[in-house]
Structure 1
């Protein structure tokens, strides 16, 4: 199956729209309905939040449970940090050894800080990406709601 991606002009439009407050962009990524929206994520911070099929689930981030989900891999940013930092890292190196002091832990992050890094991640992890019109996105959301109510 060949990759299908938005054109350069469409990516430019997506990046401009996603960086505007109270505006959202809907994409079809390999059959998933993805909504990108600029929202407040901290006291004085904004981030691009990702909703998949109309919802956000902590299980996708790997914070709850041990199993990583497909949604988490496809749409959320993986961040890695050292278990020990600063002075504690020096103490851990003396007490536990170099290998244990360099140990890292990773998790998925719930928002993106840059539309360019989000774009690179989406392109690398999805074969088909289509920009959806507002009407088409509304129809897809209604169909998802109807399926959810039926089951």
Structure 2
């Protein structure tokens, strides 16, 4: 008779790497950045709770969507430690990130639309360039080198 195998409650860093498709160094980096956590065994080996796999999946999706690690870290602060993020958790996170992605898309679209005119004129005038100095805002800040994000 086959006895069902019990899944381990905790995973080694190698097991997390294998199951998530990430390098061990990436997991160490995520841990150093406060995105995931582990504890040490008596033999000083890292052990991760099983829920870390869901957190790593969320990190990977968020990064693919262009979310910076700082934004992901802040979002994770709203999740209870030690609990696997739920569908409701993901919906809340993704809804907030969608608004940020919409702002980025709008900004990139505006940049793309102004880029052709900029290349066409060839001047890259600091005073007149709508990309580097929209509405001559830099003049209001005084003399010297200035950078301005249109947002």
Higher normalized helix content (fraction of residues):
2
Which of the five TM-score ranges fits, normalised by the shorter chain?
under 0.3
| Bigger CA radius of gyration | 2
TM-score, length of structure 1 as denominator length = 0.21
Higher relative contact order (CA 8 A, sep 6+): 1
Higher normalized strand content (fraction of residues):
1
